[in-house]
Structure 1
């Protein structure tokens, strides 16, 4: 059996870091087990679903390093869902209901007032053929509910019916079907809710493992019953904890909060996003993992906490910085070249500045400083200006290398008696225009003697 997983968002907006967590959990699970990853778009809501969002989701996944083995759309599979509906109807497991939303809400309140669980009482099962016909003549169209197997002989006498599974993430899980209402599978207008298409697709696509957020735990009990009603063996299920904002709010595609697109456009590295999305809320320490294969080795779904985890974007900067500080030139070269950082000095430049970057795009600033000098005129006191000019008079002849800075400043120190910050800071300001940055021992050979003298104040 080939392990087969799926990521099935609705293309009604941009995916966010929480969605990416689900996609990455599935991708890494497939990687660890030599399996397949199916990208499925749950686009049965034809009014809100848009191809532009589906395309954007695929782009985001590719940027993260996820490359599906197959892509499918639920909007192209209505025949399969129609066939499943007819099968359930024939088995007496799908029944027509005519209550309005207002009537259902009233029934719920009545049950609560009687200290009964607010589940649907299956009143529609008591309707005669004549009563149903009268309701339809009245203009009502039915919605269709799945009859849960939570009774022996009489559907109005439910009893505790446990659906149990060994959750890939959470361990043993149990859902009591008697505590749930029969789920609506088909709306009044004939469109499908999430549950039925998802199960039919998982059957037809050979999905062996469904890994998703823990807000679906209760749904899983219903879906396992539906798998069995359709004559299929349920897949294994896993439910990871959810991510919230740093203030504890839920993430939403509609709000665009922490969307993968916004994180990408802010200049973050994909593996910084992937590392935090996967490792946060687990027993693993959150560190910057440079490659997806290494992240797969560290990935352990069972190490995931059962409580929600707060996602702080500030942590991404820490991870991003760590990734850049160890990023080899050959992996950065093409991207640097696209930014205008190229030529014989590019590799030495990268090795000199990467330790001071938060985002790769910051290299452009230092490339400009190296090649053109400080962006703004340097402000020095009269004494520091005199000192810098004296130091520039003492510049050694070329060739220069990594030892030139030490030799030069050593001679300047001996001559001027300056030391520490009073020695180094005026020189740094004159050379770069900034009070901090890469080691000047690494930058000086890139400037060259001519380039250094051009910065004389």
Structure 2
């Protein structure tokens, strides 16, 4: 058996870090089991789903390093769902209901006042042919519910019926089908809700493991029953904890909170996003993995906590700095070229500045300082200005090598008596316009003697 997983978002917005967590859990599980990854778009909500959002989701996943084996769209598979509906009707487990939303709401309120759970009472099963004809003549169109197998002989007398499964993440799980309403599978207009297409596709596509957020735990009991009604063996399920903001709020595609697109535009590295998305809320230490292969070695679904995990962007920036500081020139080269950083000086420049930047794009400011001098001129006291005039008079002749900074500052110390911060800070300000940054011993050879003299106050 080939392990087969799927990530199945609705293309109704841009995915956020929480969606990426689900995609990465599936991708890493497939990697560790030499399996297949299906990208499936649950786009049966025609009004809100767009190809633009689907394309943006694929782009975000590719940026993270996820490349599906196949991409599917539910809107192109309606005939398969139609056939499944006919099978369920023939088996008498899909029945027509004519209640309006207002009528259903009233019934729920009545049940609550009687101390009963607010589940659907299956009143539609008692409709006579005359009542159905009257509804039809009034222009009502039915929605269709799946009859849950939670009774012995009389569906109007449901009884406790437990569905059990060994969850990849949460361990043994149980759902009582008697505590649930029969789910609507088909709307009045003939379109499908999430449950039916999802189950039919998992069967048709040979999905062996379904890994998703723990907000679907209750749905799983219903879906296992639907798998069995369609004569299929249910897949293995795993439900990971959800990510929230630091304040505990849920993430949403509609609000764009922590979207992958916004993190990318903010200069965050994909492996910073992937590392935090996967490891936060698990027993693993949150550390920056160099690539998805390394991250897969730290991935264990069972190590995930059952409680929600808070996503702190500050942790993301820490991971991002770590990745930038460790990034080789070979990894950075092409991206630096796009930023206008190239030539013989590009590699030593990158090695000099990478330890002092938070994002790769921050290198541009240092490249400009190296090429054009300080972007903002520092203000010096008269004493420091005199010191700098004397210091620049002592600048060694070329050729220069890696020891030129040490040689120069040695002469300055001997001539002026200054040392420590009073010596180094005026020089740093004159050369870079900044109070901190890369080692001047690394930058000075890149500036050259002529470029250095041009910075003389």
Q: Given the alignment of the two structures, is residue 413 of structure 1 paired with residue 434 of structure 2, yes or no?
A: no
Partner of 1:353: 353
SS at match of 1:228: helix
Cross-structure match for 2:206: 206
Distance 2:285 2:420 in 1: 38
> 1:186-205 residue pairs with structure 2 within 5 A?
186-205=186-205
Q: Which moved more, 1:150-159 or 1:81-90?
A: 150-159
Residue of structure 1 equivalent to 2:143:
143
Equivalent residue number for residue 370 of structure 2 = 370
- Superposition deviation, residue 20 in structure 1: 0.5
Write the distance in 2 (CA, Å) between the matches of 1:448 and 1:210: 60
What residue ranges of structure 2 are gaps of 5+ in the alignment? none
User: What corresponds to 1:286 in structure 2?
Assistant: 286
- Residue 399 of structure 2 corresponds to 399
TM-score normalised over the length of structure 1: 0.99
Q: How far did 1:158 drift? A: 1.2
Deviations along 1:289-344, one digit per CA (max 9) or x if unpaired, are: 11110001111111111111111212211111100000000000000011000000
Distance 1:120 1:392 in 2: 86
- For 1:72, the equivalent position in structure 2 comes to 72
Separation of aligned partners in 2, 1:300 and 1:254: 30
- Counterparts of 2:369 and 2:168 in 1: how far apart (Å)? 52
Provide the rounded CA distance (Å) in 2 between the counterparts of 1:73 and 1:129.
Answer: 38
Matches within 5 A, 1:54-93: 54-93=54-93
Give aligned pairs, total.
457
The yes-or-no answer on 1:252 pairing with 2:252 is yes
TM-score under structure 2 length normalisation: 0.99
In structure 1, stretches of 5+ residues that fail to align are: none
Pairwise CA distance, 1:433:
0.4
1:11 matched to 2:11: yes
Indicate yes or no: 2:335 matched with 1:335: yes
Could you tell me how far apart the structure 2 residues matched to 1:274 and 1:137 are? 56
1:257-299 CA distances to partner (integer Å, 9 max, x unpaired)? 1111111111111111111111111111111111110001111
Whether 1:160 and 2:160 are equivalent positions in the alignment is yes
Q: CA deviation at 1:395?
A: 1.3
Which string of whole-angstrom CA distances, capped at 9 and with x for unpartnered residues, describes residues 223-270 of structure 1? 000000000000000001001112111111111111111111111111
Pair 1:443-2:443 in alignment:
yes
Aligned Cα RMSD in Å?
0.8
Where 1:166 maps in the other structure, the secondary structure is: strand
Instruction: Tell me the CA shift for residue 192 of structure 1.
Output: 0.4
Instruction: Name the residue aligned to 2:235.
Output: 235
